[in-house]
Structure 1
Amino acid sequence: DALRRKVLRKIDLRTIPCVMLLYLACFVDRSNIGNAKVAGLERDLHLKGIQFNIALSAFTITYIIVKIPSNHILRKVGAKFWLPFLVFCWGVVTVFSAFMSNYASLLAVRAVLGFCEGGLQPGVILYLSSLYKPEELQLRVGLSFCSTALSHILGGFLAFAIHRRMDGFAGKGAWSWIFIIEGTLTIFVAVVVWFFLCSSIETAPYLTPSEREFAAETLPSLDDERNTLHLEEFEWFECRRAFLEPQVWLIAAAQLFSSLPYIPALVTVIASALLADRWRIRGPIVLACVPVGIIGYLMLIFSKSTGTRYAAFFFVVSGLYPAIPCLVCITPINTSGVVKRATCVGIQGMIQGLSILIGPFIYIKGEPEVKGHKIALGLTCGAWALTAANVLYCHFENSRKASGRRDHLVAQYLEQFRAGQTRAPIGDRSPNFYFTL
């Protein structure tokens, strides 16, 4: 209705630009290592063989392990503090990257950078899922991801300008100035976002008291108060439920396989997000888009024509890029219970982070590109198959709930509640909670 649209517009105008800035800072910093390589980092640090590839993967361990703890810290301290704090930290690390002198210092910096960056993506997804209904979520995630397009443009432009104008300035190479300038901009973004971001609807100063009350009443789904991340106490029992949730493993693995060719395709991202939210489906959108990317990889493998291979690039990015927001949204939509959802989103981010470990070794300097294309094709086919498996699983569970074959979960939950195993709401165990396909 009109009031909901008014409230949504206010939330969007205050939240989405902040999240886009956070993602922008993330992906600019993510790509600056490649730009620094072009500007002479590999030469000045005397890197040999695949040392640069190893350095690209150095932060993967800390990047992965920090995701679940980071989400639970966010629940306690609030998104307003935690998300800008993470960005501020990696901005500082990026600035200090300018003073690396050898391979060991590069590895150390990358490990610390992974520790700082790891919590952003799952934290943003958890935060947005606390502000929007499931049918409103993916469009906002898609819009946030669109800032990656600007990050590639901005990062490349800054690197080019710095390389042309500042190489050798104050006795430092162009790659050092790339880290100093982009890290300083990241710190600035963190400070700006801290002033504007709100942790929850209840603390949103841009909403009137009546609007905050209305938003809080219309947002919760079943017993799960999505807009109050801090109310539910941490429980290891709920974390165990998260690790035993089949969907999180299927979708996270599918996301791992499809996220390697991570190049922007703005039109298809927005179009797929609009359709997914309108039709309230996610997996079928992925199943429709990914084959377009598969066709692109087949063209890259079998064609020798430069024009055809260039066209294949558009197939790959148009097919795979819109799948990422869909896969990201399935987990927070289909898991209920704040502790379980925070843990599931963290698990998904951990598995997705493995792509950063695998990616640098798919395309290795000196090896035929077609080998990398074949590996990426296999992973993309795996993503399609795993997504199809998750759609079938959700359909299977929904049909069982509709026929009453999952009613016993209520009694099981009540028994666990009385035994003191959990104080969380019934959440996705409820027979009335249906999974989004």
Structure 2
Amino acid sequence: MSKLNTSMATPNQGEFMADTDFKNEFDHVEAVDDYITTQAGEANLLHQEIEALKRLSEEEYAAAHAKLVRKIDLRLLPVLFILLILNYLDRNALASARVQGLEKDLHLKGDQFNIAVSILFAGYILGQIPSNLILSRVRPSIYLSVWVALWGAVSACTAAADNYNHLLVIRFFLGVTESPYFPGALFLLSSWYTKKELAFRTSILYTGSLLSGAFSGLISAGIQKGLNGVSGLSSWRWMFILEGAVTVAAAIASAFILPDYPATTKWLSSREKAIAVYRLEKDAGVRDEETMTLFQSFKAAAMDYKLYLLAIIIITKTTAGAVTQFIPTVVATFGMSKVNTLLLTAPPYLFAAFLALTISYTSDRKPERCFHLLTPIVFGMVGFIIATTTTKTAPRYFSLFLMIGGMFGSYNVALAWISSTFARPRAKRAAAYATINSLGNVAQIWSPYLYKSTTAPSYHLAFTVNTVMAAVAVVFCVVLRWCLQRENARMDRLEVEEPDTERGHIAQDGIRYVL
């Protein structure tokens, strides 16, 4: 009897392991059940809050709505703005480094500098589409911040480059690590703002890229004057070290400040989440939820002809806009000192930033996209024509204001047009942003070769091609507007002619495109 009790009281090792495995499996199943229960509870709470919102008076809802938008504006826009400034500072620092002596220090010859510029975009294009598809399923606050820290670290490594091959490798991986941020930031904005709010918010974000052009010249001039030769390092090496370190610090801070999605942001109350979800649902006619697989979302975007019309507009604008990589080089043909050359690059970007905010504000108020986009492009085309016909300092410098203001003062309107054209579902919008931005940046691979050093100081080929690209962009703006107008008219007609049919219901529920 005692023997039996002993065997029962002390099971063998195999039985003990089996019991332990069973317990662990039971705990796992229990944890999954708890997670599912929690998710269902949160969804139910969100639904209840949305129903409660519908019972509020117009004044009560308007006050709560305005309070939420202010809260998101204060948390989301400043962080994305600062990170985009750093993104473009790190990306375009090579242009300033050239003036500071990078070509001489690394013994670059022929087209090697142009290749170093373009190879960044090879890496940049590769990462955008898969990154945005992943982003629609993870926490943006963490995901984007990690990539920001990585590109800051890679950019700082440029200071260690000793030769052309080192520079190529670093630039390629800088492109890879930078690729998630810009399309990801645009997608995150489109996940929080309505069609009438988006162009102006996008312009605030994109103004960061324009101000980076101004800051780049000012920062580079300061470093050239104060740090050149300190600790035996050239000023361009100090520039990469300092800008990279600041980027990493900003990435750490952004992880605690950025929101995720309207229904999942932890620092919003349940009522605020409901308002965020409800207002976007009212704007688009459907809730912005994840219902597609990665392949389905990419296929849905790729099968939509409007994606390719928008892509052509972005490609042609980006080709002409590649001049920003060579603004210091063009200004250097004026024959001034390094410091003065770098300082003169700032004013055209400041003008473009002011123009971008003004154009986007009026575009949202209308709302209207096509003519707010193509009119500045026409002025940019005039700038390219002036630059093609003269190398005199005054008209050449004036042409830079028209070029940068025209091509980039309205770029954010093009980005907002993407969002309003691919409003829902979330995954299709993410795929559209990434695909169009990737196709657009293909132009950044080959356009630097237009600015061969052998064509200086006129750069006649580059400015002629840019003129043609601007004209093509104008044509396709008009074509896209006509197509969207036709789509809107078709839905209006179906809604009137077949109100009780399935097609009629689809027309009633479908979005109307912003023209």
TM-score normalised by structure 2 residue count: 0.76
Q: How do residues 123-162 of structure 1 correspond to structure 2 at under 5 angstroms?
A: 123-162=184-223
- CA shift, 1:101, in A, is 1.6
Q: 1: distance between equivalents of 2:508 and 2:132?
A: 24
Q: How do residues 62-211 of structure 1 correspond to structure 2 at under 5 angstroms?
A: 62-204=123-265, 207-211=268-272
Match of 2:287 among 214, 218, 225: 225
SS in 1 for 2:165: helix
Q: 1: distance between equivalents of 2:296 and 2:275?
A: 32
Q: Does 1:251 align with 2:310?
A: yes
Q: Is the 8 A contact 1:10 1:206 kept in 2?
A: no
Q: Does 1:345 align with 2:407?
A: no
Which shifted more, 39-48 or 182-191?
Answer: 39-48
Q: 1: distance between equivalents of 2:223 and 2:390?
A: 37
Which shifted more, 284-293 or 268-277?
Answer: 284-293
- CA shift, 1:400, in A, is 1.7
Q: Which residue identity does 2:125 align to in structure 1?
A: I
Q: Does 1:435 align with 2:488?
A: no
Q: Is the 8 A contact 1:10 1:207 kept in 2?
A: no
Q: Which residue identity does 1:243 align to in structure 2?
A: A
Q: 1: distance between equivalents of 2:440 and 2:309?
A: 11
Indicate the percent of aligned positions where both proteins have the same amino acid. Answer: 26
- CA shift, 1:82, in A, is 1.4
Which shifted more, 123-132 or 102-111?
Answer: 102-111
Classify 1:278/1:26 alpha carbon distance in 2 versus 1 (closer, same or farther; 3 Å).
same
Q: Does 1:5 align with 2:82?
A: no
Q: Does 1:321 align with 2:403?
A: no
Higher helix share: 2
Classify 1:329/1:92 alpha carbon distance in 2 versus 1 (closer, same or farther; 3 Å).
same
Classify 1:134/1:257 alpha carbon distance in 2 versus 1 (closer, same or farther; 3 Å).
same
Q: 1: distance between equivalents of 2:464 and 2:74?
A: 42
SS in 1 for 2:291: coil
Q: Which position in structure 1 is the counterpart of 2:463?
A: 373
Q: Is the 8 A contact 1:126 1:342 kept in 2?
A: yes
Classify 1:68/1:101 alpha carbon distance in 2 versus 1 (closer, same or farther; 3 Å).
same
Q: Which position in structure 2 is the counterpart of 1:41?
A: 102
Q: Which residue identity does 1:315 align to in structure 2?
A: L
Q: 1: distance between equivalents of 2:210 and 2:125?
A: 24
Q: Which residue identity does 2:420 align to in structure 1?
A: I
Q: Is the 8 A contact 1:7 1:211 kept in 2?
A: yes
Q: Is the 8 A contact 1:63 1:114 kept in 2?
A: yes
Classify 1:360/1:213 alpha carbon distance in 2 versus 1 (closer, same or farther; 3 Å).
same
- CA shift, 1:173, in A, is 2.5
Q: Which residue identity does 2:287 align to in structure 1?
A: E
Larger radius of gyration: 2
* Cα deviation digits, residues 171-202 of structure 1 (max 9, x gap): 33322222111110110111111111111223
Q: Is the 8 A contact 1:57 1:357 kept in 2?
A: yes
Q: Which residue identity does 1:350 align to in structure 2?
A: S
Q: 2: distance between equivalents of 1:302 and 1:153?
A: 26
Q: Is the 8 A contact 2:123 2:172 kept in 1?
A: yes
Q: Does 1:242 align with 2:301?
A: yes
Q: Does 1:309 align with 2:396?
A: yes
Q: Which position in structure 2 is the counterpart of 1:386?
A: 476
Q: Which residue identity does 1:251 align to in structure 2?
A: L
- CA shift, 1:277, in A, is 0.9
Q: Does 1:403 align with 2:490?
A: no
Q: 2: distance between equivalents of 1:28 and 1:110?
A: 14
Classify 1:395/1:223 alpha carbon distance in 2 versus 1 (closer, same or farther; 3 Å).
closer
* Cα deviation digits, residues 148-187 of structure 1 (max 9, x gap): 2432233223322323333333333322222111110110
Stretches of structure 2 lacking an aligned partner (at least 5 in a row): 1-61, 325-347
Q: Is the 8 A contact 1:71 1:122 kept in 2?
A: yes
Q: 1: distance between equivalents of 2:93 and 2:258?
A: 26
Match of 2:449 among 336, 361, 380: 361
Q: Which residue identity does 2:311 align to in structure 1?
A: A
SS in 1 for 2:137: helix
Alpha-carbon RMSD across the aligned residues, in angstroms, is 2.4
Q: Does 1:331 align with 2:393?
A: no
Q: Is the 8 A contact 1:401 1:407 kept in 2?
A: no
Which shifted more, 19-28 or 262-271?
Answer: 262-271
TM-score normalised by structure 1 residue count: 0.89
- CA shift, 1:306, in A, is 3.8
Q: Which residue identity does 2:472 align to in structure 1?
A: G
Stretches of structure 1 lacking an aligned partner (at least 5 in a row): 415-425
Classify 1:173/1:297 alpha carbon distance in 2 versus 1 (closer, same or farther; 3 Å).
closer
Q: Is the 8 A contact 2:153 2:244 kept in 1?
A: yes
Q: 2: distance between equivalents of 1:235 and 1:83?
A: 19
- CA shift, 1:38, in A, is 2.2
Q: Is the 8 A contact 1:401 1:431 kept in 2?
A: no
Classify 1:237/1:200 alpha carbon distance in 2 versus 1 (closer, same or farther; 3 Å).
closer
Classify 1:17/1:36 alpha carbon distance in 2 versus 1 (closer, same or farther; 3 Å).
same
- CA shift, 1:255, in A, is 1.5
- CA shift, 1:111, in A, is 1.0
Which shifted more, 45-54 or 292-301?
Answer: 292-301
Classify 1:235/1:154 alpha carbon distance in 2 versus 1 (closer, same or farther; 3 Å).
closer
- CA shift, 1:45, in A, is 1.7
Q: 2: distance between equivalents of 1:284 and 1:103?
A: 44
- CA shift, 1:436, in A, is 1.4
Classify 1:309/1:42 alpha carbon distance in 2 versus 1 (closer, same or farther; 3 Å).
closer
SS in 2 for 1:202: coil
- CA shift, 1:304, in A, is 5.9
Q: 2: distance between equivalents of 1:129 and 1:186?
A: 24
* Cα deviation digits, residues 100-119 of structure 1 (max 9, x gap): 12211111111111101111
- CA shift, 1:295, in A, is 2.2
